[in-house]
Chains A and B, each alone.
Chain A
Amino acid sequence: MSPQNSKSEVGHLRRIAVVWVVVSVVADLLFWFLVGPHVPPGRMTETAINNQRTFNILFVIALPVLIGVWVYLGYAATVWSAKRDGAPESVGGEAARTNQKAQVWWMSVTSVIVILLAVYGFYAVVVEHGSGGGEGPNPVWSPEGAIQAETAALGGGSSWTPGHVLVVQVIGQQWKFTYRYPGFGGFESDQLILPNHTTIAFNVTSLDVIHSFWAYQLSVKADANPQVNNVAYTETKQLGSFVVRCSELCGLWHGSMFNDGRIVSQSDFTNWATSTQTANAANTAHLPPFAWTYVPDANGASGGFYPDGTFTPYSPSEIYGAKSPAS
C-alpha cells in the first residue's frame, strides 16, 4: 500500500464519519423528541412510561448503527462505484475481502452495545418491579406495601384507602376476564376500574385453560394459568381508558375476549367500588371466599367435579362455584 493510498483512505473514512455523526445526531434528536413521547404503550402507568423509555433508548442506540450501514453503502455506491468505461473495479477484490481492523471494530462495538442493553434490561426489570410482567406466585421484586396488601387481601379483612397498594384479582375464563376487589368485600365485576396514582397488584389466574391478561396501555402482561397466581405490578399515572385483551389463543371466542378498562380519580374509584360492593352484595355472598387460585370443576355439567367441602378457610385454593352436586 503506497503512502498516497493510505492518505486518501483516511480521507474517505473521515468524510464517512462526519456524515454518519451528523445524520445520527439529527435523527436521534428528532426521534427522541418528536416520536418518542408517542411510542406505545404510552404513558398511562409507571411501567408504560418505563417501557416506552426502554424502547426509545433501544431505538436511539440502534438508529446510528442503521445509519452507519446506510451512509457507508451510499458513500461506496457513489464514490467507489465501478467505472462504466471498462476500468478495473475499485470496490471488491482483494482489499475489500478481508479487513481485520474493520471486522474487530464492528464485532467489538456491536457486542458491547448488546451486553450493555442486557445489563440495562436486567436493571430495569429489577428496579421497575418486574416491569409490568407476571412474576409468578412469589414475586421477588415487589413494590413497597404490596406484600402487606396481598397478605391482608387473603385474610379477607382488607379495605383499601387511597395511598395504599390496591390488590385486584384477574380471573380468566373461557371467554371473559372478570375482576375481584378484595379491598371491597371481594366483589366480582366484569369491569376493570382503577384509581389514579396508585400501585396496583394484579393477581392473575384462570378457571379453565391458559389465558393471558394483557392491559396494553398499562404495559401489564401476565399469563393466566389455572391454579397459579401470577402477580404483576404497575402504578397508575394518568386518567383515561385502556384495552384489555387475552393474548393466549384460548378457543372459539378468544377474539371476543377483550374489554375496556378505566383509570379514574381516587374519589371516583372509591365511589364506584363502594356502590358496586353494595349492588353486588347478594351475589358476592355466593362467591367462594377470596383466594389466590380456584379449583375448576373437571368436566362441567353434571360430571366429575373435584371434591368439595374439605378445604380449609383461606387455603391457597378454593373451589370456584362448583359446589356440586347441587343440593
Chain B
Amino acid sequence: MLGLFAVAVGLVITAVAGFLTPGVPGGIVNFTGAQPSGQPVNLTVQTFGAIGTGPHPTWVSYLVKSPQGQWVHSTDWELPANTVINMTVIQYDSGSPLRNQQWGQVTGTIGNTASVNGKALSQYDSNSGNGVGHTFTVPALGLDIPLVAVPSTSKNICGTAPCASSFDHNTITFSFKTPGAGNYSWQCFVPCGLGYLFGNGGPMSTQGYMGGFLKVVA
C-alpha cells in the first residue's frame, strides 16, 4: 500500500517537474566580444508560427542567429552594456489585432522609429491590414516594436522553423542602446498563445518561447 502511494507521489512529482521545465535548449547566446568594445552589435532573430521541434513543436517562438551564424533556439541573449544594438527581426508569422493598441507604437528605439522592409514605421494600426504577429517589448527599457504580420491569406507561410527567406516575411529593423548591467526581461504583447486562456498561456507563459532576458553585462 505504502509502495503504491510512493509510486503515485513519484508520478505526480515527475509530471509537475516536466510541466515546469519544458526543456528549453540553447542556453544563453553570448554577443559580448563579438565586436570590438563600444562598437554596435548586430542581433538577428526570426519569429514564426511553430518551432517544429522539442516538447512543444506547435508553439510560436524565436530563433536567434548566434555570432557564429547558426540559428539557435534561445531567448536569453548576453549583450554588452551601454552599446548600440542593431536588431533585425525576420517575422514569418501571420497576425491579429493587439489586445492593447498601445503596443502598436514604436517606443524606446533610437529615433523612436523602426523600419519594415525598408519603410519607416513609428506606429502600426493593428486593427487594419495584416495585424501584428508579435511584439518585441522590453518593459523596463520602454522598448516596444510591433512586428508586423504577413497576410494570413498568404499561400507561402513558413510551416516550421527555421524558416528560409523564400517564405513570406517582413524584415523589421531598429536600433536601441543597452543600459548598464542587469537582467532585463523581454516579452511579446500579442496574446499569441493560441488555445490558452486569454491567449497568454503556453508559449506566452513559458521561458524560451515568447519571452526571455537581455542579460546585459558591463
Contacts and interface: CB of A to CB of B under 8 A. Distances in A.
Interface of A: 171, 173-176, 178, 188-191, 207-209, 251-253, 255-257, 259, 280, 282-283, 286-288, 296-303, 320-324, 326-327
A176 B196 CA distance: 19
Nearest to B137: A176
B100 interface: yes
Interface centre among A171, A174, A287 (most CB of B within 10 A): A174
Contacts, number: 135
6 contacts: A301-B191, A302-B94, A321-B97, A321-B126, A323-B127, A326-B130
Counting chain A CB atoms within 10 Å of each CB, the highest count among B100, B139, B144 belongs to B100
Interface in B92-121: 94-102, 104-105, 107
A295 to B, nearest CB: 10
A154 B115 CA distance: 36
A326 B195 CA distance: 19
Determine which residue in B102, B195, B204, B206 has the highest number of CB atoms from chain A within 10 A of its CB, and name it. B102
Contact of B139 (A175, A252, A297): A175
A324 B122 CA distance: 23
B205 A252 contact: yes
A188 B102 contact: yes
B107 A322 contact: no
B137 to A, nearest CB: 8
B152 interface: yes
Given A287-B102, A300-B96, A252 B211 contact: yes
Nearest to A191: B142
B49 to A, nearest CB: 9
B200 interface: yes
A252 B207 contact: yes
The 7 closest A-B pairs by CB, nearest first: A300-B199, A300-B191, A323-B127, A256-B185, A283-B105, A208-B198, A326-B131
Given A252-B205, A286-B126, A301 B142 contact: no
Interface of B: 94-102, 104-105, 107, 122-123, 125-131, 137, 139-140, 142, 144, 152, 185, 187, 189-200, 204-207, 211
A96 B211 CA distance: 65
A297 B200 CA distance: 11
Nearest to A322: B97
A317 to B, nearest CB: 15
Contacts of A257: 139
A283 B96 contact: no
- Interface SS, A side: loop
Residue with the highest number of chain B CB atoms closer than 10 Å, among A191, A208, A303, A321: A321
A175 B135 CA distance: 13
Given A173-B189, A174-B204, A303 B195 contact: yes
B127 A286 contact: yes
B203 to A, nearest CB: 10
B187 A300 contact: no
Contacts of B189: 173, 176
A326 B207 contact: no
A321 B99 contact: yes
B127 A280 contact: no
A283 B100 contact: no
B102 A297 contact: no
Contacts of B144: 190
A283 B196 CA distance: 28
B205 A256 contact: no
A299 B100 contact: no
A319 to B, nearest CB: 10
A251 B185 CA distance: 14
Contacts of B198: 174, 208-209, 296, 298-300
A178 B139 CA distance: 10
B205 A321 contact: no
B99 to A, nearest CB: 5
A178 B142 CA distance: 11
A156 B105 CA distance: 22
Nearest to A257: B139
Contacts of B105: 280, 282-283
Contacts of A299: 191, 194-199
